[in-house]
Structure 1
Amino acid sequence: MPPSPSPTLRQQRLGTELRKLRERSGLTATAAAELLGLKQAQISGIEAGRYAVGADRVRTLARAYSSGDPALVEALALMTGGRTRGWWDSYRDYLPVGLIDLAELEHHALALRVALCMHIPALLQTTDHARAMLREAVPPFRPYELEHRLSYRIKRQETLHGSTPLPYTALLHEAALHMRYGGSDIARAQLAHLLELGEQDNITIRVIPFASPHFPGNGQSFDYAVGPVPQLDTVQLDTHHGGCEFLDAEAQLAKYRTVLDRMESCALEPSESRQIIDKIKRSL
């Protein structure tokens, strides 16, 4: 199969994890190639995500690297093949590659945990709220750009619904509930939407109140995508220039898991969170 000039985040992640296995075994790329009867450039291409590999090849590499983690190896085997074709591909010519990778990440995640301070999570926004937020972009989007971003954002929400809805936990600071993007009517409808979504079995919404003496993470917003094994979890951060940054180093994953756990420890229970959301809604 010819190399891919622009591997997806998922393809790159598979290559990165195979490189980690090789490095832990103490083999250089050259030594690994000789052991497996490949060229060094093929090993490098696989580890960069430029070459698609099959499940059998992943298992062969893992054996050569003396991997002692069968759960990780099988999870990696499930990530093999070419580029995943999904609804997000129709946006590939219109949106930054990071947003395309984000949609694919959410599609393959086993669960999502998100933390936000000043915004309602994208997957929980109404269309009017999302449009009002997108209109605040600097520099402003052209009308067709805004509509592409809006339809993409709403399309992402389908992962929370359907026959196998994604388990989703949102930790919101109370400040996010007071923001009035688009005015009071839109804000009120948005809070009513949160109350409705919170009734779904797969969606948990918990609020960190102003009165809380603790606020882990110093207000940083992020998404945490849970993979089939902890090593394949991913953290997504929004960047100041409007893109996405993805983190997958073990130390980074451990840090953000700890932040989420601490945020949950000082957040209200879902029932109490519903009460505060309803109180703010009725005050608008």
Structure 2
Amino acid sequence: MANSHRAIFFTILLLLAVAAAATASSAGFSPLSPYYYSKICPKALPAIRRVVEAAVSRERRMGASLLRLHFHDCFVQGCDGSILLDATPTIDSEKTALPNNNSARGFEVIDMIKAEVDKACGGKPVVSCADILAVAARDSVVALGGPSWEVQLGRRDSTDLPALKSSFQKQGLNERDLVALSGGHTIGFSQCQFFRNRIFNETADNIDAEFARERRASCFAGSGDANLGSLDGSPARFDGSYFKNLVEKKGLLHSDQALFAGGSTDSVVKGYGSNNGRSFWFDFASSMVKMGNIKPLTGNLGQIRVNCRKVNA
């Protein structure tokens, strides 16, 4: 897959996630509970929060990285911790899949969280890696000044890696969820290779000319693939500036600007960009809960991994 198409591929995965979440919700499928660990390990969530806050304090970018780990975990067959598995002779790791290779990061922070949580739970693997990802995503957003929400808990970890789906169902698709979840780009950065074509397209009419010139200063025509560009003007703060940028034709990625290009999502983008992004906060939290409910493994399915990177023996 060409680099210029990866942003579009990300959008397809996002649509797939929202469609699956809507299908699960409409079927009344919600086996999880925010109180799942209240009795079996009440110290679990505070332990996750402490490690996340420390990691984000050391590197603000890490908040965006942990949020995206949860996104990408849920995009493949459901929120089951499969994004964390290292490659083995029988497992083709998601870490090297096109949307993740040299992009997904923060795995060492998840390892730290896992160690602290197991310690807080009496030295036993009580909390799944999938739940750790879901809670760490929420705590990262809060650490960067964004909204909080009750995370549904009780997922179990996958024991194998299902094939990546290449199509998505449109039935029950909620465009508002799509725009809200895309707003996760209000924090973090993208590599030059993913937005070079956009800023060097002289005939494009959906990008602000001055914005394009500014981005070319660090993303060159034939080099600097790994150079970073902020996804909005305040990459370390969770706010509504991402949507304001789209209205001004300053979306960094093609898939971002496509949300405000004369289509049906324009009004949602405008709404999220006003009122300091408060309506975006509310919808983002709601959509994150829906996304976190995508086909979780519960009960006797799956396992609680001892090491998030490996399937239990």
TM-score by length of 2: 0.24
Q: Larger relative contact order (C-alpha < 8 A, sep ≥ 6)?
A: 2
TM-score by length of 1: 0.25
- Which structure shows the higher strand fraction? 1
